[in-house]
Amino acid sequence: AELSDIPSGVLGALKELSSFEVVPHTLTLGYTYWGADYVLKQILPPEVEVPSSFETIKNQPRIKTVVNKVGTITNEFRVPQFEILAGKDDMITEVKQYGATFRLDYSLVYWNSRLEHEHVRLISLFKAGETVCDMFAGIGPFSIPAAQKGCIVHANDLNPDSIHYLRINVKINKVMVNVYTYNMDAREFMRHLMGVPASEEKSECSIEATNNHQSCPYTRGGGIEDEKMTIDKKEILEQGINIQGVGGPCMKIEVTSKRQLQDYKEKDWSNDNGVETSKHQFNETKNKRLRGLKLSRTKIWEHVDHVIMNLPASAIQFLDVFKGLLERKYWKGSLPWVHCYCFIRSNETEESTLAEVEAILNAKIDPVFHIVRDVAPNKVMACLSFKLPEETCFKSECNNDLNQCLPCAEEPSSRDSILQYDPSNV
C-alpha cells in the first residue's frame, strides 16, 4: 500500500500513542509467505476440492502408482474409493512396520500408515501369554504385533478381503501358532467366543482325573437322596459316567484335562461361522521369538485380557454386546480391558463421550483417554481404555428353564444342597 492511502486521521492517532516516522519500504511477497492450501484455494476453481494430505504406501524410491481418494468412506467395510492418477493399475503392495510385514490390496482393505505409533503404543500395554480379542482386526496392524509379542489373538473382521490378507500376513510373520481368524459380524464374533458350549454346561460335575479315585456329589432316582460315590479313573476314561445333578440327569463326567486340552487344540472351526483354526497352528513355530511360548490352557470363554475395538466411526455403538456377555461361574481372573477408538468433534468433549459410553454400558467406568491424532480441523481420533464393569458383563443368575432365580447369597435349603454341585467335594 502507498503512504498516501493511509488516512491522515489514523496517522495522527498513532503518533499520539507513540512517536514514529513513516518511511517508504518495498516488500516482495512470494509463495513462502502462505501455506499450500491457501495458495491452491486462490488458483484453483471454486468447485475443485483442495487436497488435504498425501500418503506414501509403497517403499521408496520407486513409486509405481499414484492414486486419489474419491469422496468419503460410506461403504459397509470402511474401504475408501480411489482413482488411478498415474502408473500401474495395481494396488497390491507390502508395508513394513515395527518389525512386521503387511501385504494388502489397497483397493479392497483399509490401511492407514499414520497409525503406526498408535499400534506400537497399545501393543506395549500387552504382556506375553495374554489373550486378546480384536473385533475389527483388518489385515492385522494390532493382531500381528500382539502375536509377535506372545499374546494369544482372536482376530475378526467383517470384510472377507481383510481376513484373506490377515491370514496371509499371519503366515508371512510366522505367528500361526497363536492367531485365530474369524470372518463375522463383530457382535456375533464376541457372542461366539464367549458362548459356553453345551457340552461344557452339561459337565458341571466334570473331573480332572489326576488321582486314581475322585469323589463327586450326585443323587439317584428322583433326586431325594444325598449320597456320594467314588469313581474310578479308568472307568471315566473308558466309558464316562452319567449322573444326576443340577438341571436333571445325564450329566456326563468329562475325561482328563489333558484330553480336553488336546481336543481344544485340534478342534477345526473352519466350517463354523467363518472361523479358521487348524492343527498345524499348534506345531512348533518357525518364529524364534515365539519358541518356548506356553499356550494358555484357559478356554476363551473363561478369560480374556484385552478387547480392541478399532472402528472409530461406530465402535462405541458396539459396546452393547458386552451386556450379559459373560458367564460368571466360568469366568476366571480379572475382567478385560476394553480399548475403544472413537472420533471426538469440536462440539463434543471427553465428558460427553464418556456419558455416551456409560449410558450404553449402564454402568460407571474409570477410563483412560488417549488422543491419537487430529483427523480434521474439528475432529480428533481418541482411544478410550477401561476395565469392563462387572455389573454390565455378567449374565443374570436366573435359571430361565425354571423361571426363577437360583439362590446366590442366601444359605441353600436342604433340597438345594442336594441338587447343587459343590466343587469343594471334587
Report pLDDT digits (tens) over 32-62: 777 777 888 888 888 777 776 666 665 556 6
Query: For 198-221, what is the mean pLDDT?
Result: 47
Cα separation, 419 vs 343, whole angstroms:
51
- Residues 151-177 pLDDT 10s: 999 999 999 999 999 999 999 999 999
Answer with the residue of higher pLDDT: 251 or 339: 339
Residue located via cell numbers 450326585: 218
Query: Contact, 245 vs 205, CB < 8 A?
Result: yes
Q: Taking 50 as the threshold, does the pLDDT of residue 251 lie above it?
A: no
Q: Taking 70 as the threshold, does the pLDDT of residue 126 lie above it?
A: yes
Answer with the residue of higher pLDDT: 342 or 36: 342
Can you read off the three cell numbers belonging to residue 292?
518356548
Query: For 346-358, what is the mean pLDDT?
Result: 94
Please work out, in degrees rounded to the nearest 5, the angle formed at the alpha carbon of residue 95 by the alpha carbons of 274 and 111. 55
Cα separation, 133 vs 190, whole angstroms:
8
Percent of the chain with pLDDT over 90: 42
Cα separation, 123 vs 153, whole angstroms:
12
Give 19's pLDDT tier (boundaries 50, 70, 90): confident
Query: For 406-424, what is the mean pLDDT?
Result: 35
Query: Contact, 90 vs 82, CB < 8 A?
Result: no
Please provide the distance, in angstroms rounded to a whole number, between the alpha carbons at the two ends of the chain.
95
Q: Taking 60 as the threshold, does the pLDDT of residue 125 lie above it?
A: yes
State the alpha helices, DSSP H only, in 68-197: 116-123, 143-148, 160-172, 186-194
Helix (H, G, I), strand (E, B) or coil at 286: coil
Query: For 110-135, what is the mean pLDDT?
Result: 94
Q: Taking 80 as the threshold, does the pLDDT of residue 374 lie above it?
A: yes
Q: How many of the other CB atoms lie within 10 Å of CB of 191? A: 13
State the alpha helices, DSSP H only, in 368-409: 390-393
- pLDDT score at 245: 32
Q: Which of 189, 164, 175, 94 is nearest to 142 (CA)?
A: 175
H helices, E strands: number in the chain: 12, 18
- pLDDT score at 75: 64
Give 202's pLDDT tier (boundaries 50, 70, 90): low
Query: Contact, 93 vs 139, CB < 8 A?
Result: no
Beta bridge partners of 94: 103
Can you read off the three cell numbers belonging to residue 40?
491452491
Helix (H, G, I), strand (E, B) or coil at 366: coil
Q: Which of 106, 135, 190, 146 is nearest to 312 (CA)?
A: 135
- pLDDT score at 127: 96
Query: For 13-36, what is the mean pLDDT?
Result: 77
Q: What is the DSSP letter of 321?
A: G
Q: What is the DSSP letter of 326?
A: B
Which of 83-97, 178-192, 315-329, 393-407 is predicted least confidently?
A: 393-407
State the alpha helices, DSSP H only, in 150-245: 160-172, 186-194, 198-201, 233-239
Amino acid in position 322: F
Cα separation, 232 vs 216, whole angstroms:
11
- Residues 260-288 pLDDT 10s: 334 333 344 333 444 444 333 434 455 66
Strands 179-182 and 152-156: parallel
Can you read off the three cell numbers belonging to residue 172?
508371512
Percent of the chain with pLDDT over 70: 65
Which of 50-54, 188-192, 219-223, 328-332 is predicted least confidently?
A: 219-223
- pLDDT score at 130: 96
Can you read off the three cell numbers belonging to residue 382?
481418541
Q: Taking 80 as the threshold, does the pLDDT of residue 74 lie above it?
A: no
Cα separation, 184 vs 137, whole angstroms:
11
- pLDDT score at 312: 94
- pLDDT score at 288: 61
- pLDDT score at 170: 97
CA distance to 268, 302, 328, per residue, from 196 (Å): 17, 9, 11
Give 9's pLDDT tier (boundaries 50, 70, 90): confident
Amino acid in position 312: P
- pLDDT score at 85: 83
- pLDDT score at 272: 40
Please work out, in degrees rounded to the nearest 5, the angle formed at the alpha carbon of residue 241 by the alpha carbons of 239 and 245. 160
Q: Taking 90 as the threshold, does the pLDDT of residue 369 lie above it?
A: yes
Cα separation, 371 vs 317, whole angstroms:
19
Q: Taking 50 as the threshold, does the pLDDT of residue 92 lie above it?
A: yes
Architecture of domain 113-196+270-393: 3-Layer(aba) Sandwich (3.40)
Mean pLDDT of the residues in the chain: 74
Can you read off the three cell numbers belonging to residue 207?
473331573
Cα separation, 301 vs 315, whole angstroms:
22
- pLDDT score at 35: 74
Q: Which of 118, 113, 65, 121 is nearest to 88 (CA)?
A: 65
Domain residue ranges of the chain, discontinuous segments joined by +: 3-43, 113-196+270-393, 198-260
Query: Contact, 309 vs 341, CB < 8 A?
Result: yes
